[in-house]
Amino acid sequence: MIFKTNTCALFGIEGYVIEVETDLSNGLPGFDIVGLPDAAVKESKERVRAAIKNSNFQFPQKRITINLAPAGIRKEGSVFDLAIAVGILRASMFILNEELDGFAFLGELSLDGTVKGINGVLPMCLSLKNNGIIKIILSKDNADEAALVNGMDIYPVENISDMVEFLNGKKDILPHRVDFNAILNAGTDENFDFMDVKGQDMAKRALEIAAAGAHNVLMIGPPGSGKTMLARRLPSILPEMSFEESLEVTKIYSIAGLLKDKSCLITKRPFRSPHHTISAASLVGGGRMPHPGEVSLAHYGVLFLDEMPEFPKNVLEVLRQPLEDECVTISRVNGSITYPAKVILVSSINPCPCGFFGDESGKCNCSLIQIKNYLGKISGPLMDRIDLHIEVPSVDFNDISGSCKGESSASINKRINKARKRQLKRYEGEGIYFNSQLKPKQMPIYCPIGRQEKELLRNAFDRFNLSARAYNRILKVARTIADLEGSDDIKQDHIAEAIQHRSLDRKYTI
Ligand SMILES: Nc1ncnc2c1ncn2[C@@H]1O[C@H](COP(=O)(O)OP(=O)(O)O)[C@@H](O)[C@H]1O
Ligand SMILES: [Mg+2]
Ligand SMILES: [Zn+2]
């Protein structure tokens, strides 16, 4: 007789129901797992055998065949341990529950029979629910996270014996519940507000534009001028995340095993600031057991590359695809997987190798060649994805010593929400949401300009020797500035301000 139960596999950020079929037959004792298991799943045999024995159940002296279906999906990791053990215990009549096919089992086993937590429980539970499986047995460590999915019965168990008693009706376990309102209202204590930034009005204005149109930015300024401080505050003026966005971000953190407070949905937009020693695989994701990279952990939020020229060129190169496609595609032997990666990229550089080029202090001795080499480390294709160049000069003494507070993030946020609404309405049905996403062929439709505006742009191009790549970038940013002002038309003022935010194109052209 064949006994069936369920577990779940992950592919990208989606879960797939895996049916576990167990067959015991007479013959030479053996233990086989079939259905495209990888090496880690094969190791599960030894853990399951030891866990069953050490929980004082007899391991069957029969020929055991476990089939993980559908066979087309590669099975990775240790998540299937628990379901395999349940299959064997059912087939050998230690578990007598007739309705195991209504359950899913998610967990790794210790040799002593303890059920251990796994990564990715949230996306797994979401897909199990979509497939009509709402009764889940898993480790206590995963209970809070699983209970985030409404309308499921989550039964946390300590170990195998615990679970067998529950399934045999000898022990009550109440479905685990979490206080949903508390979860939604729980924020982090960290509070990064633009109010704390003194002066730097130009830079703040530029970040407001970046937030309004979801534009990637590059900040240029000497050390200590406040670039990191400003970047850290960008998420605080972005629109609040919707519930769906929260859930998607939380799924990614669940898979990466990075949910710090396991009972919380991530409701604040992420800010990720990887160090420049990061590998390409950690930045965009990958590896033998694929995991989301920093660019996906920053999904719906901000990815900050501090001192960008310090990052190796090959690491910066791999960012091109996710910035273009808003997702990361990782090729694998049997197909590719995708992690979402919709981010605003904020990067910072010093204006020259010593950091003080153009500073009033006059400390800089760098030659123009040295400066060009330094800036040249950022590849052209990456620069092509950056709409705004923000100059962040050393803070003015009067500003830093004054007691007057800047405008609060909440107040800036109101203007951004209005500008975003205009964009959502304008791009309805286009499959894009913000000005930064405009494709070249959409530009003439959504960013038309009059004769005078064209003249202004032409003059700027001649005077500052702007590159061709600057043209569409300036227009997109001008579109956002017009949206912030509530204007349907792009006017001269908007274009003039947008040109100001292309300082790198202007300054260093020889
Ligand atoms: N405009 C400012 N208002 C208030 N404090 C500032 C400002 N700029 C810099 N600081 C202070 O200087 C510190 C260093 O700034 P930081 O953001 O690390 O500079 P950078 O990243 O440009 O090197 C900050 O932590 C902050 O305390
Ligand atoms: Mg810094
Ligand atoms: Zn210098």
pLDDT confidence of residue 381 = 76
Please state which CATH number belongs to domain 438-510: 1.10.8
pLDDT confidence of residue 150 = 87
Check: CB of residue 135 under 8 Å from CB of residue 155: yes
Question: Which residue is closest in CA terms to ligand 1's atom 6?
Answer: 226
Pocket test for ligand 1, best of 204, 229, 233, 305 (most atoms within 8 A of CB): 229
Question: Which residue is closest in CA terms to ligand 1's atom 25?
Answer: 229
- Work out the average pLDDT over 407-433: 95
pTM attached to this predicted model: 0.88
pLDDT confidence of residue 375 = 82
Q: Which atom of ligand 1 is nearest to the CA of 392?
A: 22
Residues, CB within 5 angstroms of ligand 3 (ion) = 352, 354, 357, 364, 366
pLDDT confidence of residue 507 = 56
Residues of the chain with CATH 3.40.50.300: 194-410
CATH match of 194-410 with 3.40.50.300: yes
pLDDT confidence of residue 506 = 64
Q: Which atom of ligand 1 is nearest to the CA of 231?
A: 17
Say if residue 187's pLDDT is above 80: no
If 0-12 CB within 10 Å is exposed, 13-18 middle and 19+ buried, where does residue 224 land?
exposed
pLDDT in tens, 86-141: 999 999 999 999 999 999 999 999 999 999 999 999 999 999 999 999 999 999 99
A 10 A CB-CB count for 459 gives 11
CA distance 90 to 97: 8
**Beta partners for residue 104, in sequence order:** 6, 136
Pick among 3.30.230.10, 3.40.50.1820, 3.40.50.620, 3.40.1390.20: CATH of 2-178: 3.30.230.10
Question: Which residue is closest in CA terms to ligand 1's atom 7?
Answer: 226
Query: Which ligand has the minimum distance to the alpha carbon of residue 226?
Result: 1
Question: Which residue is closest in CA terms to ligand 1's atom 9?
Answer: 226
Residues of the chain with CATH 3.30.230.10: 2-178
Token output for 437: 């996403």
- How far is ligand 2, taken at its centre, from the CA of residue 178, in Å? 39
Token output for 505: 């194109």
CA distance 182 to 180: 5
pLDDT confidence of residue 509 = 46
- How far is ligand 2, taken at its centre, from the CA of residue 223, in Å? 7
pLDDT confidence of residue 66 = 94
| Dihedral (CA of 215, 299, 272, 147) sign | positive
